[in-house]
Amino acid sequence: MYHIISIRDFERSDLDHLLDRAQEFDTGNYRPGLLDDKLLALLFFEPSTRTRMSFAAAMGRLGGKSISVDSVEASSIVKGETLADTIRVISSYVDAVVLRHPKEGAARLASEFTSVPVINAGDGAGQHPSQTLLDLYTIRQSMPIDGIDVGLLGDLRYGRTAHSLALALSLYDVTLHTVAPGGLEMPANITLELRERGMEVIEHPSVEEAIRELDVLYVTRIQRERFPDSASYYDVASSYRITTDLLDDVKERLMILHPLPRAGEIDPAVDCTPYARYFEQARNGVPVRMALLHEVMK
Ligand code: NCD
């Protein structure tokens, strides 16, 4: 695979191959210096901690180097430069580009203006494929993905991690349970697509109703920055929160995941329970991104 833009471009065998490679990187089973002659550009036109740092860490671990643009304000975009021009120029300096951008479709557009691989690190409310790979990787370390029940909780309308993950899980034998505040449900076209791919999708009014059936609960933050105004954000803010008393009768193997950052959706008291796996999930960003970077630049 050349560009990594959307989970829609992947078949199950592509995902499984990358997850197997990530496992090799995770266990140190690789030759040092695999990308030591390569240079990566990190273009982040939206805030990021984990994604940017773990791509840089992954590149460094493979012996490569990275250069970055960390904000719109610090780039020529403020002078009116188009994304197409920015990408055309930057891709002539490097061997691959990682792009995060507030507009859905930006990574696909960028890939049309460059001869080097583009990795989508989040395009607005669109997709976030590298996050999905580390989500799958984290699940697969504890249980086979086939046959499980996964709950997606939170902002399923604007949450790109939820969109990518749901589409990826539809390539496995997974039952999907969704719980979203009013107005933040999964877009109808995505739910339709999941069902057309043969996935059972069950909508629940509350997490309490679904949680005992789940093997994985994937919690997401309300994507405040995508809301048209702050009043509509405050209408739904704080409408759900995972606390320890919700976890009384859950399956023993339940994993609670979250792409992070969290903004109140998970009580920190949950961190000390065996169900909390989100910090381990974030850590898995490095071996998974090593596998991705190696795949597109080898
Ligand atoms: C996510 C994102 O940027 O979509 N963050 C991440 O990459 N781990 C989730 C979020 O911001 O809520």
Residue-by-residue DSSP string for 169-205: HTTSS-EEEEE--TT-SPPHHHHHHHHHTT-EEEE-S
Q: For the whole model, what pTM was predicted?
A: 0.97
CA of 100 to the centre of ligand 1 (A): 10
Specify whether 61 is located in the same domain as 141: no
* Domain presence at residue 80: yes
End-to-end CA separation in angstroms for the chain: 11
How many domains in the chain? 2
pLDDT at 81 over 90: no
Residues with CB under 6 A from ligand 1: 50-51, 122, 128, 131, 160-161, 220-221, 259-260
User: What CATH number is associated with residue 214?
Assistant: 3.40.50.1370
pLDDT of residue 5: 98
For the stretch 2-49, pLDDT in tens is 999 999 999 999 999 999 999 999 999 999 999 999 999 999 999 999
Specify whether 49 is located in the same domain as 70: yes
The active-site residue, picked from 17, 50, 251, 283, is 50
| Tokens 């790109």 belong to residue | 160
Specify whether 165 is located in the same domain as 275: yes
Contact 110, 119 (CB under 8 A): no
How confident is the model over 134-155, as a mean pLDDT? 98
Query: Would you call 262 a catalytic residue per the annotation?
Result: no
pLDDT of residue 76: 78
pLDDT at 74 over 80: no
Structural domain span for residue 240: 129-282
The active-site residue, picked from 3, 21, 38, 51, is 51
pLDDT at 77 over 80: no
For the stretch 158-196, pLDDT in tens is 999 999 999 999 999 999 999 999 999 999 999 999 999
